[in-house]
Amino acid sequence: DIQMTQSPSSLSASVGDRVTITCRASQSISSYLNWYQQKPGKAPKLLIYGASTLESGVPSRFSGSGSGTDFTLTISSLQPEDFATYYCQQSYSTPRTFGQGTKVEIK
Amino acid sequence: EVQLVESGGGLVQPGGSLRLSCAASGFTFSNYEMNWVRQAPGKGLEWVSYISSSGTTIYYADSVKGRFTISRDNTKNSLYLQMNSLRAEDTAVYYCAREIDRGRGRWFDPWGQGTLATVSS
């Protein structure tokens, strides 16, 4: 199975900050990497697929990059509604493993 | 509107069984692969099972293999997860999720709201 490792596990940031979350795969997954946002008590929501393609309706302050084993989710200017937990997921092979999550909290 | 609605969760004793359902609407259910994903309280997401659009290809996580059975009824636009020999560590919110397959890979969208299965004596 492909292991997905996110860092950091949590971070504190202020509104307007630039935030970067990293996801590393245990083997190359090309660009088969997705990012999801989950708010407390809610289902995950797709943000980015194919490592860098923004899902329709997702604000442009979110962006994704990377290929192979190293990927990044960037929020260019953190907004109050962005405080949530973010998960990466590989779709290169089954099982479709997730990272352990990164919780973005208010500083 | 594309929608997935899970049901069937509840409290069950260790060793017991539950059958989860996921009702799909707003899209042609029979054209899509489907998945179950779970989340233990305060923990991250764990993929559980996959079923192809026709139901002929099925995969399970090692943690549930031999105990859980995924199935679907395309005439009823419904996905199921039969969970047997339940353990305390199966306690989680269970989500169904549609799998999208495009040229840029595969992803889950949308997800249902989840149903909580609690295994406890």
pLDDT at A28 over 80: yes
For B34-51, what is each residue's pLDDT tens digit? 999 999 999 999 999 999
Please name the residues in contact with B66: beta carbons below 8 A apart, sequence gap of 6 or more.
none
User: What does the pLDDT average to over A74-99?
Assistant: 96
Contacts of B110 in chain A (CB under 8 A): 43, 45-46
- Residue B103: predicted pLDDT: 76
Nearest CA among A85, A48, A46, A78 for reference residue A66:
A48
| CA dist A82 → A7, A32, A73, A101 (Å) | 17, 24, 13, 14
- Inter-chain CB pairs, A–B, below 8 Å: 66
Q: Which amino acid is at A107?
A: K
Looking at chain A, which residue has its C-alpha nearest residue B49? A95
Q: How many C-beta atoms surround the C-beta of residue A20 within 10 A?
A: 14
Task: Report yes or no: A64 at the B interface, CB cutoff 8 Å.
Answer: no
Which of A47-55's residues contact partners 24+ apart within 8 Å by CB, and which partners? A47/A73, A47/A86, A48/A73, A49/B100, A49/B102, A49/B104, A49/B105, A49/B107, A50/B102, A50/B104, A50/B105, A53/B104, A55/B109
Answer whether B91's CB lies under 8 Å from A28's CB. no
Whole-number pLDDT of residue B20: 98
Q: Which of A32-36, B27-31, B104-108 has the lowest mean pLDDT?
A: B104-108
Chain B positions touching A100 (Cβ under 8 A) are: 44
Centre a 10 Å sphere on the Cβ of residue B6 and count the other Cβ atoms it contains: 23
Put simply, the answer to whether B44 touches A34 (Cβ < 8 Å) is no
